[in-house]
Amino acid sequence: MTTSIAFLSRLERFPSVPSTNDIVRAWLTEGTPEVCLAVADEQTAGRGRSGRSWVAPGGAALLLSLGFEPTYLEPDRLWRLGAIVALAMADAAEEAAGLPAGVLKLKWPNDIVAESVGAGDSVADGVLKVAGVLGESEGVGTAGARAVVGIGVNVDWPRDRFPAELAGVMTSLREVARGRPIDSNALLDEFLLRLEPRYLALRDGHFDVAGWHARQVTTGRAVQVELPDGSIELARAVGVDGASGALLVEDEYGAEREILVGEITHVRLASTAGAGGRKAASGAGAKARAGRGGPSPARAGADRGGGRGVTP
Ligand code: BTN
């Protein structure tokens, strides 16, 4: 069924690979045109953001990577590839799991999360990760631009099989759907149906800024963000910037600025007030919004940090 998706140049399924991102990167290097797709039942060396590994038991997750040749995107809009993948997957996951629209959220930049009612402060403040996106790019800004966007979705993974060290921060579609079994193949089909129009729109210069805004779990909430230099920023998230891809935050004095690269490590669901914390982000990846003078160059290479480059 998925092979009939017209925008795909190549689709292959693998029982087990080290990383689907590596498969697709190799395809692009050898000349496979966009959009190529590798799907695996299992990865033996799956990568996450910030140099972390990405682990999922065979058959319990949807693990895939898409290869793009994004010469149609300005370097500072490359982050939108990761965003369309996350948005299409959130829509698809709600359909495949029988969830009401909007139940799944995005945690900037591109994690798909669900709020765990009643989890309280002890369990990641109730924001549990369902899926993560990893973007890697090469030759950005040249005629040979290549980008790989990988996404790993915890699909049919029962809670009693979560690794102990992740049980407080992750969940699966099956758990969000209160134990209903979820078919990864159906999810893949739903995803591709939704990705195609978003991809074609992006090629035409259009991005669903409103939909991206609406999915954000952090808007109006106190957040803790780890910046690339390791410093911790406490602030109130006030939104996201549909042009730069940045997380917009406000400090305790009401000054707004954007964080271009970082990792939200904590979201306070109960309160929207008084982020407190440091006065201003001085670390890499943050800048005063008032001082923004135009698009910043996107990073080439592996996206290890945040909302720039391809993804997360
Ligand atoms: C994250 O840290 O949240 C990003 C996780 C990305 C995992 C996916 S699984 C498919 C693709 N292949 C990889 O090695 N990583 C991505």
Contact (Cβ atoms closer than 8 angstroms) between residue 306 and residue 133 = no
Tokens of residue 42, six digits: 């299992």
Contact of 211 with 256, CB cutoff 8 Å: no
Spell out the alpha helix ranges (H) of the chain: 20-29, 79-97, 173-176, 184-203, 209-215
Q: How far is CA 297 from the centre of its chain?
A: 20
Distance CA 187, CA 194 (A): 11
Between CA 291 and CA 45 the distance in angstroms is: 41
- Residue 174 Cα to ligand 1 middle (Å): 19
Atom of ligand 1 nearest to the CA of 64: 10
Parts of the chain belonging to CATH 3.30.930.10: 2-212
Atom 16 of ligand 1: nearest residue by CA position: 150
Q: Relative to the CA of 49, which ligand 1 atom is closest?
A: 2
Which residue puts its alpha carbon closest to atom 3 of ligand 1?
132
User: What are the start and end residues of each CATH 2.30.30 domain in the chain?
Assistant: 219-291
Tokens 């500072």 appear where?
A: 76
Q: Which residue has the higher pLDDT, 270 or 230?
A: 230
Beta-bridge partner residues of 266: 224
59-73, 118-132, 195-209, 218-232: range with lowest mean pLDDT: 118-132
Ligand 1 atom nearest to 129, measured from its CA = 3
Decide if domain 219-291 falls under CATH 2.30.30: yes
Residue 137's φ and ψ, nearest 5 degrees, are -140, 160
- Cα distance between the two ends of the chain: 29
Name residues whose C-beta falls within 8 Å of residue 30's C-beta, 6 or more positions apart in sequence. Answer: none
Q: Which top CATH class is 2-212?
A: alpha beta
41 has a pLDDT exceeding 50: yes
**Ligand 1 surroundings by CB, under 6 angstroms:** 19-21, 43, 46-49, 52, 54, 63-65, 111, 132-134, 150-152, 312
Give residue 57 CA to ligand 1 midpoint distance, Å.
14
* pTM of the entire predicted model: 0.87
Residue 152 C-alpha to ligand 1 middle, in angstroms? 5
Q: What percent of the chain lies above the pLDDT cut of 70?
A: 82
Hey, whose CA ends up nearest to atom 2 of ligand 1?
48
**149 alpha carbon to ligand 1 midpoint, in Å?**
8
Position 6 pLDDT exceeds 90: yes
Do 24 and 15 form a contact (C-beta atoms < 8 A)? no
| Ligand 1 atom nearest 151 alpha carbon | 8
Q: By the 8 A CB rule, do 49 and 303 touch?
A: yes
The torsion angles phi and psi of 279, rounded to 5 degrees, stand at: -70, -45
pLDDT digits (tens, 9 = 90+) for 193-203: 999 999 999 99
Distance 112 CA to ligand 1 centre (A): 12
Residue nearest to atom 9 of ligand 1 (CA): 152
Strand partners, 226: 232, 263
- Read off the pLDDT of residues 81-104 as tens digits, 9 standing for 90 and up: 999 999 999 999 999 999 999 999
Say how far apart CA 164 and CA 7 lie, in whole Å: 40
Burial of 120 (0-12, 13-18, 19+ CB in 10 A): exposed
Query: From ligand 1's centre to the CA of 116, what distance in Å?
Result: 23
DSSP letters for 218-241: -TTSEEEEE-TTS-EEEEEEEEE-
Strand partners, 234: 224
